[in-house]
Structure 1
Amino acid sequence: MLTLRRYMPTDQAAVEHLHVYAIQRIGAYLGRGPWDDDIYAIEDTYLNDGGEFLIGEINGQFVAMGALKRTDANQAQIKRMRVHPEHQGHGYGQLVLLELEARARALGYQKLHLDTSIVQLPAQRLYEKHGFQEVGRDIYQGLEVILYEKHLS
């Protein structure tokens, strides 16, 4: 059973590992660069700025994560959704997403937005299943991404 909890500084190495490993496995890893700065500053980027960073564990093993980043007073971005490849297909990403959405509502956000690469088909299905609608496409560091939004009621 997956247990969700808030990020702690002692999780840093595990977050870095899951982040890199999961996106390498799907061919979307761009290498270390400024686009990853938030991974190395989780408290400042998320926790101390009206956001959230969740860790998913099974029997103490780190298997999932996801974040909520404030982008303005009324909206936040879902970021860093990762599930360890050996644990995908069990609904853990859905649990993280639903909890982030609940926390966004509790924080008073009215809209969520996110992006995912075109190669991340399971992520696209997850977001669309939960009411996110495609609002555009973009190229980010040479990788095509789909932009999604969801209005919270």
Structure 2
Amino acid sequence: MRPFRREDQAEARRIILEGLGDHFGTIDQNMNHDLDDIMTTYTKAGHEFVVAELEAWMVGTGALLYEDNNLGRIVRVSVNPNFRGRGYGEAIVKHLIRLGQKNGLGQIVVETNHDWNSAIELYQKCGFQPYERDDESLYLRMDLGIEQQLVPV
């Protein structure tokens, strides 16, 4: 796991869009503009964007947005289809949780499509609990109270 670098742009964007396409069937070209310049949107804006690697291959991505001093939001978790089912998604999410803990967040939230079962299972496996649902999305959160220990790898 390492921080995003500018040279990761094309592959990170491809992995994320491919994951969305696999789930939704199509990609809405009017959405996902944050992926046009990941460095500016995430890293230079003070957020975390990480990539998971296996040898020379980028196998996944994920980001942690700092919404305020206490609240973070996990977004853009995606794993290359050739590497799904091997624990990379869980490793990415747990890494982002640890970053949030180290930076003093009290809570992390995540939103996913309410019928994206693999994503829901991933977040629940990592300790997130559902707290709200609407017509399209399920919202999950994790409280990172000061008494909680760091999430194990």
- TM-score normalised by the shorter chain: which range applies? 0.7 to 0.9
- The answer to whether the Cα contact below 8 Å between 1:74 and 1:109 also exists between their aligned partners in 2 is yes
Shift of residue 104 of structure 1? 0.7
Matched with 1:114 is: 110
Give the Cα–Cα distance (whole angstroms) in 2 for the partners of residues 121 and 150 of structure 1: 18
1:17-96 aligned at under 5 Å gives the runs 17-27=14-24, 29-33=26-30, 35-96=31-92
- Which of the residues 140, 149, 152 maps onto 1:148? 140
CA RMSD of aligned residues (A): 1.5
Change (3 A) 1:105 1:131: same
- The answer to whether the Cα contact below 8 Å between 1:116 and 1:146 also exists between their aligned partners in 2 is yes
- The answer to whether the Cα contact below 8 Å between 1:49 and 1:70 also exists between their aligned partners in 2 is no
Shift of residue 29 of structure 1? 4.8
Shift of residue 113 of structure 1? 0.5
Matched with 1:9 is: 6
Structure 1 moving runs of 4+ over 3 Å: none
Give the Cα–Cα distance (whole angstroms) in 2 for the partners of residues 53 and 29 of structure 1: 24
- The answer to whether the Cα contact below 8 Å between 1:111 and 1:149 also exists between their aligned partners in 2 is yes
Give the Cα–Cα distance (whole angstroms) in 1 for the partners of residues 86 and 104 of structure 2: 30
Any idea what SS the aligned residue of 1:41 has? helix
Give the Cα–Cα distance (whole angstroms) in 2 for the partners of residues 75 and 48 of structure 1: 19
As a proportion of its length, which structure holds more strand?
1
Structure 2 length-normalised TM: 0.87
Shift of residue 39 of structure 1? 1.6
- The answer to whether the Cα contact below 8 Å between 2:17 and 2:27 also exists between their aligned partners in 1 is no
Unaligned runs of 5+ in 1: none
Shift of residue 40 of structure 1? 2.1
Unaligned runs of 5+ in 2: 146-153
- Percent identity reads 28
One-letter identity of the residue aligned with 1:37? H
